[in-house]
Every structure is written in structure tokens, then in C-alpha cells.
Amino acid sequence: MISTKMFSSVTFLYLACTVLYFNFLAFRSEQLGKVATALSWATLLIHTAAILWRWVESYQLGMGHAPLSNMYESLVFFSWCIALLYLLWERKMKSRIIGAFAMPFAFLFIAYASLAPGVSDRIDPLIPALQSNWLHAHVITCFLSYASFALSCGVSIMYLLKIRKKEKGKKETGWISLFPPLESLDALVYKTIAVGFPLLTIGIITGAAWANYAWGSYWSWDPKETWSLITWFVYAIFLHARFAREWRGKRTAVLSVIGFAAVIFTYFGVNYVLSGLHSYA
């Protein structure tokens, strides 16, 4: 299939973007940064075209469903969400600094889609449980929220790297000195979660609405449901700690990393370690 080949090349392009963003940090070259941004937009464009092309291919195979229906397709879409959200952020903030910590996520997830054994890139027809319009709303909101949390995690890692250097009393040298000030990083950790949390909520609600049609209950403590709630709890703790107890900086950055770990377990762990109704992706 052409789309699969396109996704493979997109994988390498995201790797190239990652390398460029790192070099931009290391050599502090505005020129390199511009190249990184241009290449990222181009990659996102190809990525979008490939997703649309896969949709067309599914029609050619006589199935005709959106490419959001299995592990492979969800990974590809996850990667797309991360790249899109990052690039929008970059445009808004006019800063490329977090690129080196955002693009690796886009690369890793799409690379996992192509390389991991057991992740089939075949287009399969929709099983009865997936034949629903809730599929689109549910998958799109969930992965946009996951992507937002991925960015938050990337920024939190930057924050933690920077503060560790500071706490050791070392003078900031090298590429860490290029990171935005701690306050801006901290604000960004919050802002990305402020986008991701409502989206996750809508993702859970659309999932519940769908489950009420397909499984006969809006909530049945299925491992996927439960883990999405655990993730929701972690970010709820983040928001309450930040707003009402005025936690800032290191502690909230750690919470954001824990939150993303919960996201990853909700996404992968539940499928690989636990078993349940939600076995598609």
C-alpha cells in the first residue's frame, strides 16, 4: 500500500526534524531552526496526505472507514496530533526551543507503528463494535489530549533538566542555557495541560456515550476506562495542586511526567498487560 510507504518515509522525516531541532539548540543557529520548522511543516503535510490516502485506500478495498480503527492507525494519528499541536504552538509563541523535546515524541510513536512486531499495518474492515459515528469524536479528542500531554511532558523534562543544573549551583552552559526561563517553562507545562485536560474529559465522555450504545453501559470499570480515569485523576491533582495549593515548578513538572506515564499505560499497557473489552487500540 502506498500510504504505508508514505508513513515509513514520514518516520524518517520526523527523525530528521528531531535531529535538526537538536542541532538548532546545540549550534544556536537561527538558520537551522528555520530549516527545522520548514521541514516539520512539510512532513506534517505529507503525513496528512498519507492519512487521507489511507482513507481513500480503504474505500478502494470496499470498506471505507476513517483510518482511526486499530493500533497502527491510532499510532500514526497520535504522531500527527503531536506534530500539529507542536507546530501550532511554535507559530503562536514564535519560539522553536521545545521542538527538540516535542518532535522526538512524534517520531517515536510513528516509528513504533512501523517497526513494532504485532502492530499490523493492514486495513481491516470494521468489526460490529467499531461501526459507530462515536468512533471519530472519541478517537480524535483522546489523541489530541494525549498529544497535548506529550508536549507538557516534553516541557516538564526541559524544566527538570534546567532546574537540576540550577540546584547543583552550576552555571548554565551549553544548550540548557538556551532553554526559556523556568517561569515560562512552568507556565507552558500548565497551558498544555489546560488544553489536554478538557479534551481528555471529552474523550472519556464520548467513550462513555459510545459504550452506552455498544456495550450497554456508560461505565463498566473496564481496564481502559479505569486507566483513563486514573490519568484524569493525576491531571486533576496537578490542577488542584497548582491552583489551590500553589504548587509550582518542580513538583508540578514531576506530576506532568507521571501524568504522561499514565497516558502511555492507558494507551499501551492496558492492551499489552491487561485484558478487556477495549482491545482495538
Which residues contact another protein (rule: CB under 8 A)? 124-125, 127-129, 131-132, 194-195, 197-198, 201-202, 205, 208-210, 212-219, 221, 223, 226-227, 229-230, 233-234, 236-237, 240-241, 244-245, 270, 274
Shortest distance, position 211 Cβ to another protein, whole Å? 10
Shortest distance, position 126 Cβ to another protein, whole Å? 9
Shortest distance, position 165 Cβ to another protein, whole Å? 27
Nearer CB in complex with another protein: 48/124: 124
Shortest distance, position 128 Cβ to another protein, whole Å? 4
Phi-psi region of 219 (alpha: psi -120 to 50; beta: other; left: phi over 0): beta
Nearer CB in complex with another protein: 128/169: 128
Nearer CB in complex with another protein: 176/187: 187
Shortest distance, position 98 Cβ to another protein, whole Å? 17
Nearer CB in complex with another protein: 87/270: 270
Nearer CB in complex with another protein: 84/237: 237
Nearer CB in complex with another protein: 42/127: 127
Cβ–Cβ < 8 Å for 134, 210 = yes
Dist CA 154 CA 148 (whole Å):
10
Give CA angle at 68 (223, 146), nearest 5°. 55
Buried b (16+ CB within 10 A) or exposed e, 148-185: bbbbbbbbbbbbbebbebeeeeeeeeebeeebbebeeb
CA neighbor of 80 nearest in space, from 125, 49, 39, 120 = 49
CA neighbor of 148 nearest in space, from 86, 234, 207 = 86
Shortest distance, position 193 Cβ to another protein, whole Å? 10
Dist CA 231 CA 264 (whole Å):
9
